[in-house]
Structure 1
Amino acid sequence: MTAIKVLIVEDEPLIARNIAMYLRNNNFEVSAIAHDPEEALFQLRRQPPDFAILDINLESERDGIELAEHINKTLFIPFVFLTSYSDKETLERAKKTSPAGFIVKPFNEQTLYATIEIALANHATQANRHVPELVLDKLNGHLLAPLTEREFDVVRLLYAGKTNQQIADDLYIAMNTLKKHINNAYFKLDVNSRTTAVALLRDLMLR
């Protein structure tokens, strides 16, 4: 529950497995792997992720761009496109969905992690642009069980789009300790994912 949940949409099983391995190596959770648009739509409804990696070309009537359009209409989460080659028209369609980034095949673990890290931060900056900064006293005024200062530190960095590893590094704490703080904060906020936590935090700061 504490990790960022990522949906992988990739029609080549080997590439999908490699992405999943890279994600788990960097403290992300793979919510699901979908090899076609229909499975992707099912997984988006069944367990909405915090982030999505979408292959543009899925060897199907639908492509990753149409999935991105669906995400924009139904979920407020960042996503990046995977692509090995695309014509100009396809890339122009992709740009219109406002992706948080592009990953060009072939890629390695460091490229994937860096792209996701930047995408999360940029998405948070854009989403929080018209929302007041988090204030501990104001948040606690809406909660039955108040956040501690350390839990607030964690929540503030989470709200800013930091990955779990970045938060642990910034606060000089172990990953297991961070997970305990996230679990405690989620319990007090009565949420079960990063996306729902951030949405609630924005709502509370606007009240």
Structure 2
Amino acid sequence: MQSNLIRAGNRLAEIMPSQVGAEATITRIGTINTVYDTGGYWTADVDMSGGTLMGLQMTTDCVGARAGDRCVVETYAKVAIVTGILARPGCGCSPLFEWSSTWSGTPWTEPDESGYLEKTATVTCGGLILCEVAAAISGTGEYSMAFDFLDANGERKAYWCSTSPQKNGGTLRWVASGSVRLPYGSYTVKLTTFHWGTVSIVGNDSSGNSLRWRDASLGVEGVSRYARLRMA
């Protein structure tokens, strides 16, 4: 209750006219404690100078801020706003969730309709979440990858999946992307794979430009499958 009152007070201060005068902008450094979705706006509680400033609104430069990030807080006419996040290795570019595999061969038959669980991770995020999956497949069937987002009670809050087009022979380097929208919070994310028919995972490079996916996180040798989540 007290936290809600403090945030409401900060919002009220924003809309109250301030006295005209030689107001100075004060810039300080703090640490993000918690991020909230407050009435459709990202707000943050920021630890600073032995206390916590609660319910500060953030600029678009702070989209993707997480607890523990060092931030820039600017105060003018008694209104404080988080205007930036201090850069650190991986800050702003690291995926929320990432998985890849160099394995190739014919997938085992999934134990049931729930599919084969590839990875489980705890992710703190909110807003629009971008999902991306990819697999190099051959055969005469279909292949599918799915993200499940569960809250602290195990209740499903979002689900996204994609299935490769049905094919007949040859190698398909299949990539799919989409998005889900979530309230800010902590989620258990599960990545699951499925297959139907005589699908195989292709691990080798083919002729021409049909190569395994490679980058700074996937490695110079490349991978045959990967999945990622990012904040939009």
TM range (shorter): under 0.3
Q: What TM-score do the two structures reach when normalised by structure 1? A: 0.24
Larger RCO of the pair (alpha carbons < 8 Å, separation 6+):
2
Larger radius of gyration: 2
Choose between structure 1 and 2: higher helix proportion. 1
Q: What TM-score do the two structures reach when normalised by structure 2? A: 0.23
